[in-house]
Amino acid sequence: MKTGVNGVALGVFIFFFLAVTVMGFLAARWRKAENEHSLDEWGLGGRSFGTWITWFLLGGDLYTAYTFVAVPAAIYATGAAGFFAVPYTILVYPLIFTFLPRLWSVSHRHGYVTTSDFVRGRFGSKGLSLAVALTGILATMPYIALQLVGIQAVLDVMGVGGGDNTNWFVKDLPLLIAFGVLAAYTYSSGLRAPALIAFVKDALIYIVIAVAIIYIPIKLGGFHDIFAAAGDKYAKAKAGGLVPAPAGQWTYATLALGSALALFMYPHSITATLSSRSREVIRRNTTILPLYSLMLGLLALLGFMAIAAGVKVKNGQLAIPQLFENMFPDWFAGVAFAAIGIGALVPAAIMSIAAANLFTRNIYKDFIKPDATPKQEAQVSKIVSLLVKVGALVFVLTMDKTVAINFQLLGGIWILQTFPALVGGLFTRWFHRWALLAGWAVGMVYGTLAAYGVASPTQKHFGGSSKEIPGIGEIGYIGLTAFVLNVAVAVVLTFVLKAVKAPEGVDETRPDDYTADAGDPGVEVELPPATAGASH
């Protein structure tokens, strides 16, 4: 293991970081609209992105620095059980093919910016809309924090920031600088910044993985030796393995399925989706995004390689950055570190924009200033995006990193509880709005309490996301169990509320809204009065 600052790797890292910083600020002039003071322009890039821009944006959004670090780190620590991320990203694309085009169409026609906008319009319920918005914001915050954790892991391996006894300000100064740059160009350029930077991020990641999957096995004697070394380690540790243990199959399957259902409930996934210019762009992307799943499968193998290479780290999140530094020439290690660092900036920017859009549209406008102008909406969203990033930074600097990871797992449990209102609402108006709200509340309470009761070797509470499934006795993903309870409550209460003729709210959508495309006659965006004049 190398000690001190890796000057060559740091130099390469800084070069790429400066390059994407310049691109981030220049993005404000890219596809610039006549009227840029609206959420459509700042928060959705003018709803103008084509197939390839959307593909890179979604890839940069979904396959983050945390993915780059955490998936192989899970393999490094627990074995093949960490591969659950691969099947869940395969399951998700047929799923979203069925509902994302419908969401794009209805959002395009009515000018919806967030999922909460749609829920409010579909069910005529500001309360249900508020629940979806708050869930989205809460689930996104720790996700942003984990992107900063990814940058911090890279900086630690490069030797930047000093040792444990260094003054806290000096130690965290590189992360503070990276945060400041991210905040500045996101404020200036909105969604156009991560859309432009995503090209660089994804190109670097594909290059690094292609080289790593060939170069490192050659240095380690081939995949046979790699798997043998990993198998020996798991056997000695009596934990994990090259094949998931039979006792963990329910956990593996439910975690993969629940994660697939939750992925496109996150606000940043929807924000990237709604930025595309047509329904057909969404359909094309669901067919080519699985290329990233291929990349993810290869990426996961790095966990086995880290074992074979003899990487020893106290924090598993450092395993892959340390593998790169040990195995690659310094200059290419810098390229790999830049891929991880930029892989954190892109999703962090999109996530902060998505959370800000939710606050602006579904809290500020719905409950604080209903007559907000498009310019006021854009300004509030810019300010809130800064506050969200500050909150994530404070989270990273003041809390143990394992806490950030556990809260991100909790965020996945929470965000899954918005599925019935969003996806259910895209296909049927049968559910009663109050029943959906009650189901959401039950799912949130059960999921939170169940996760609170999970302990780990390092955490007394929130130590994981799996627990015994009531009535079955197998260990499974808490989020999926909470989701089943959520749906059951929503179905039962819908029957009851319809029987007593409880008011159902006004549906402002029409059946043809869900299949409309940008080029269809009479399918231009019908803006609400408060957003009239916004540029599209």
* pLDDT tens readout for residues 203-257: 888 899 999 999 999 999 999 999 999 989 888 877 677 777 777 889 889 999 9
Distance separating alpha carbons of residues 292 and 53, to the nearest angstrom: 15
pTM above 0.85, yes or no: yes
- Whole-angstrom distance, CA of residue 420 vs CA of residue 489: 11
Closest C-alpha to 424, from 433, 415, 411? 433
Instruction: State the Cα–Cα distance between residues 448 and 416, nearest whole angstrom.
Output: 12
Residue indicated by tokens 């393995």:
241
The tokens describing 132, both together, are 């979806």
Q: Can you give the pLDDT at residue 528?
A: 44
CB burial of residue 439 (10 Å; 0-12, 13-18, 19+): buried
Q: How far is CA 86 from the centre of its chain?
A: 15
3-state secondary structure of 49: strand
In the chain, the amino acid numbered 250 is W
> Which two structure tokens, joined as six digits, stand for 178?
């990276």
Would you list the DSSP string of 400-430?
A: -HHHHHHHHHHHHHHHHTTHHHHHHHHH-S-
Residues of the chain with pLDDT under 70: 1-3, 31-36, 161-171, 239, 400-404, 519-536
Distance of CA 280 to the CA centre of its chain: 23
Output the pLDDT for position 525.
43
Question: For position 535, what pLDDT does the model report?
Answer: 35
pLDDT at residue number 244: 75
Q: Are 421 and 114 in contact (CB under 8 A)?
A: no
SS (H, E, C) 134-189: HHHHHHHHHHHHHHHHHHHHHHHHHCCCCCCCCCHHHHHHHHHHHHHHHHHHHHHH
Tens-place pLDDT, residues 204-218: 888 999 999 999 999
- 320 neighbors 157 (Cβ within 8 angstroms): no
Note the pLDDT of residue 239: 67
Task: Check if the beta carbon of residue 66 is closer than 8 Å to that of residue 150.
Answer: yes
CA count, 13 A, side-chain hemisphere, 352: 35
CA pair distance 356, 392, nearest whole angstrom:
13
Per-residue pLDDT at 531: 38
pLDDT at 530: 39
- Model pLDDT, residue 165: 52
DSSP 367: I
What is the DSSP-derived secondary structure letter of residue 243? S
- 8 A C-beta contact, residue 415 and residue 139: yes
**Tokens in use for 418?**
């918005």
